[in-house]
Amino acid sequence: MLSVLGSTGNVGRQTLSVAEALDIRVTALAAHGDDKGLEEQARKFKPKLVALYDEKAAARLKTALRDTNIKVASGASGIIEAAAADEAETVVSAISGFFGLKPALAAIEQKKRLALANKETLVSAGEFIMAAASQYGAEIIPVDSEHSAIFQCLRGGGTVKRLLITASGGPFWGKTLEELRHVRVEDALEHPNWAMGAKITVDSATLMNKGLEVIEAMHLFNMPLRKISVLVHPQSIIHSMVEFIDGSVLAQLGLPDMRLPIQYALTYPNRVRGPVKAPDFTKLGNLNFHEPDTETFGCLRLAYEAAENGGTDCAVLNAANEVAVDSFLHRKIGFTDIYRIVDETLSKLSGGKARDIDGIIAADEDARRVAETCI
């Protein structure tokens, strides 16, 4: 049985398409405010529970589903209820942003398998999330294509020399800083390979997404920062690689289709026939690799620096980036201002410490206030 958080978003919809193809039953669905989308999903998959964070949208949904036996919950507590649903064996967290932290914890505390697509949870509070998973005996399976690739490559064992996280480079790979100053929202949302939500697409364009993935990999795989490298691979066929001390490198390849890592998270440790086809190597052409340009794409450098500093710096980085990207999407700032705002916020708040999740939440709130001031 499956619970899907963020079910009306891109990853959520693809999760449900995989569930349908594999005949996996759904017991709970949760989203932010798309009552029409959630109603359609509820009628199709017939879960016991649906939840919307937006109270007014939840009220509309409750009226729309009055002819069913489906329970409608609302607010943050409703999302957490969906994360902890009794019958759910696996919880897919496809919620965008820091908001996914508490629902992820709720799933962990109920000893669910957490199929994690929400990287901000581990970026901001990775130490505490991984400790909680160990304490409660919960399983965390990555859904990000890069981390799924590493997870799969590590299954054979062996001493790791480094992790190689691949990056498409986004829509602006090869551009100069001057060219980036003129980027429009529409330009940033045109990813060459992947169909994703707006926030993660902009993060891909700034390379912040790759920085967040580096931090996430540190926690997921208990790997020191010095052993994690980023490699630009424009074709997005190799999703990541693991280099071992004997000189061998294992890579996971596949078409740029999120349904593949989603399916692996749902069926692990088994592999089953699903809706995704393997690549045709006779038609792929060349596979290219480049060092990332951290001068032009400074957000990746900031992520490495925050990871090196530790403490609450990663939570600050994430919060400032969320605020900055949202402002860019609402056309309040320019594309290169995203880096400036994150950099300024980190310079003002770097060096903080947190003893628990509440400390991380406080750092997140502080960072959002400072970022808004920078804007």
Residue 103 above 90 pLDDT? Answer: yes
What is d(CA 252, CA 254) in angstroms, rounded to the nearest whole number?
Answer: 7
Handedness of CA 216, 221, 222, 228 (dihedral sign): negative
Q: What is the pLDDT of residues 110-167, one digit of tens each?
A: 999 999 999 999 999 999 999 999 999 999 999 999 999 999 999 988 999 999 999 9
Question: Quick one: DSSP state of residue 24?
Answer: -
What is d(CA 266, CA 199) in angstroms, rounded to the nearest whole number?
Answer: 25
- pLDDT reported for residue 334: 97
Residue 62 above 90 pLDDT? Answer: yes
Residue 310 above 90 pLDDT? Answer: yes
- pLDDT reported for residue 285: 87
Instruction: Quickly name the fold that domain 2-142 has.
Output: Rossmann fold (3.40.50)
Residue 127: CB atoms within 10 Å: 14
What is d(CA 14, CA 89) in angstroms, rounded to the nearest whole number?
Answer: 19
Strands (E), 63-190: 71-74, 90-93, 113-116, 139-142, 160-167
107: part of which helix (H) or strand (E)? helix 101-109
Mean per-residue pLDDT, 193-209 = 91
- pLDDT reported for residue 254: 95
Task: Report domain extents, the chain.
Answer: 2-142, 147-257+292-309
Q: How many CA atoms lie within 13 A of 86 on its CB side?
A: 1
Mean pLDDT of the chain: 96
% of the chain with per-residue pLDDT over 90: 96
- pLDDT reported for residue 195: 76
Q: How many CA atoms lie within 13 A of 125 on its CB side?
A: 26
Whether the predicted model's global pTM rises above the 0.85 cut: yes
Q: What is the pLDDT of residues 241-278, one digit of tens each?
A: 999 999 999 999 999 999 999 999 999 999 999 999 99
Structure-token match 């001031």, residue found: 373
What is d(CA 172, CA 209) in angstroms, rounded to the nearest whole number?
Answer: 14
